[in-house]
Structure formats: C-alpha cells, structure tokens
Amino acid sequence: MAEKNFVDYVKICCRTGAGGSGSAHFFRDNRTAKGGPDGGDGGRGGHIIVKGNRNLWTLLHLKYRKHIIATNGMNGAGSHKTGANGKDVILEVPLGTVAKDVETGENILEITEHGETKVLVEGGRGGLGNSHFKSATNQTPRYAQPGEPGKEEWKILELKLLADVGLVGFPNAGKSTLLSVVSAAKPKIGNYAFTTLTPNLGIVGYRDSRSFVMADIPGIIENAHAGKGLGIRFLRHIERNAALLFLISAEAEDINKEYQILLKELEMYNPELIHKPRILGISKSDLLDDELESLIEKELDIDIPYLFFSAITQEGINNLKDQLWAILND
C-alpha cells in the first residue's frame, strides 16, 4: 500500500481568477449633482500558489485533483472603493517539488524550504477605475479599465527527494538492507530484483547526536536513462543528493564493469550528476575471506574511495558512516 501511495509526478490544470473591472462612477450627494470621477479599481483574480510543507513526502493528495480553480476579483465601486481580490488557492507540496510548464518543459519554480511560497500561476490584474483617467483635458472620463482575464495553464509538479546521500546500484545490491540497518526506515527487502519500487528515506544517526538523510531508490539497470527498468522514473531523485554512495555486491562478476555502467547511466541522464562527490561501497563482504577481499582490491580500477562492508554483520558500517560524514562536511 505504501508503494501505491508514493506519487512523485502529477499533471494539473490551473485556472486563475479574472481581475475585477474598474468602476466608471461619479461622486454624487445631496449637495453635489455633478461631482468628479471616483470609481475604484477592480480586485485582482486569485493566484494559484505552491507552499512547502516538510510534513509531506508525496504528491498523492494532488493526484486526483486535476483542476485547480481560483476565484475572480470583484469589481470596483464608487467612493474609490477597490474590489476584493479573488481567493488564492494554496497547494501544499513536499520539499523538493519542482514545477514545470507542460508545453515547454521549462522549470518554473522549486520549493526547498518549509513554509516557502511561490506563485505558480498569477491571477488577472484588476482594472483601473475612471478616477485614474482624469486629466486637465478630460475632467469627466466615463470609462474604466476592464479586468484582465484569468489564465488556464497545465503544469507538472515533480518531486525530487531532498537527501544528503543517495544510494546508487543495481537491483539486489543491498541498498534497502543497508538503509534498514543504519536508520529506522523499514524498506521492503527480498532476495530478488526490484524489491524496491519506490524511494525510501532514512535518517542515519552519527556520533554526538548528529545525523544525515539517506535515500534509497529503485535499482538502476543498463540503459535506464533510455527508459529501461524502473531507474528512469526515479533517477531525478538523485539530482538533489549532496553525495552518492555506489553500492555493488561482492558477488558481482566484474565490479569495475558494474561501476562503469552505473556511472554511464548517471551521465547519460544528467551529466552534472557525475560531478557529485561519491564513494563505492562493496556490500555483502561477509561472503568474502581475507584472501578473496585482497584479490578483489588488486583488480579494482576505479577513481573514487572504496570500502568493504556487510549490513548483515555490520562490519565496516561505522567506517562507512565516517567516510560519508567526511564527504558531506568537506
């Protein structure tokens, strides 16, 4: 059920409110039969606004809310009375949400802080009342400005998880097991490919009550950047990670080859990802004896720090945390 409840992509139709019309009113009272213009401005139409909420971690609440409609602004009135603004619609979203234009694919905004608000689509401006058009040559303007119409635009909201460390590896490399050991997260674990179908976050406790956030995403396979497997759908979650932990099982036939495939998939998806700090963790080292571990070390041909660890026996886990903390605070 939790997997079905994780939604990191929604497409919504945003319809903002139209601005109210300005008033073409003239001042009148018992003593004044022909007063000057005193028409007020129309109120602006309601905006559609997104707001960060750290208590949300999915876009599920927007999945079935396809049409977001704000109200219109009210018309202006005499005595320079401005019409009321239309009511804004505020969409609360998880931190790390990016809004895109459907037609161009361009990033419009991103929300990264709790309580941060940004206008997704603006409402129409209210029209000016006739008092704005009074001049020396036109003392009694009998016209006012109409309000701007509202906008109707389709937008995409995408969630990119905010985490300090992202786990990168093939299916069944031990990512979920590691996360379950170093944090209180309880991801689904099984001895078969694609056990993890949705990203999982865990808070990793470190020394002196310090901590950092680790994200486990579904395993990457070769040609994931082209749409194979589940990786392409979740690769965007790695974009916000400060550091990457590549995980390759000690059971792998060729660790160097698997590392190069993972690196290539990240580069093909987004070239900037390969510039992130990264280390290699060789998991399931409890299956190795000292001789075999030394043999693997001699054959390694990689350009990043590496270490052996076992999530089952927890051997090397503290060393792994130390190296990750050092990278995050470098």
- Please say if the pLDDT value at position 124 is more than 50: yes
CB 293 within 8 A of CB 315: no
Top-confidence residue, 226 or 244: 244
Q: Are strands 278-283 and 243-249 parallel, antiparallel or unpaired?
A: parallel
CATH of domain 165-328: 3.40.50.300
What is the pLDDT averaged over residues 37-46?
Answer: 96
Give per-residue pLDDT as tens, 3-12: 456 688 899 9
Domain residue limits, the chain: 1-159, 165-328
Give pLDDT, residue 114: 94
CB 220 within 8 A of CB 265: yes
CB 88 within 8 A of CB 58: no
Asked whether the domain spanning 165-328 has the same topology as the one spanning 1-159, the reply is no
- The contacts of residue 223 (CB under 8 Å, 6+ apart) are 229, 265
Assigned superfamily of 1-159: GTP1/OBG domain (2.70.210.12)
CB 113 within 8 A of CB 51: no
Give the least confident one: 66-80, 103-117, 142-156, 229-243. 229-243
Tell me the C-alpha distance between 34 and 25, whole Å.
11
What is the pLDDT averaged over residues 314-327?
Answer: 92
- Please say if the pLDDT value at position 127 is more than 70: yes
Give per-residue pLDDT as tens, 188-241: 444 444 444 567 778 888 988 888 888 887 766 555 444 454 555 667 777 888
Give pLDDT, residue 4: 53
Residue 62 tokens, joined: 């927007």
Give pLDDT, residue 192: 40
Residue 76 tokens, joined: 């202006």
Give per-residue pLDDT as tens, 258-276: 999 888 888 888 888 888 9
**Nearest residue to 99 via CA among 50, 65, 45:** 50
Give pLDDT, residue 32: 81
Q: Are strands 211-216 and 67-69 parallel, antiparallel or unpaired?
A: unpaired
Give per-residue pLDDT as tens, 142-195: 999 999 999 999 999 998 877 889 888 887 778 888 888 888 656 444 444 444
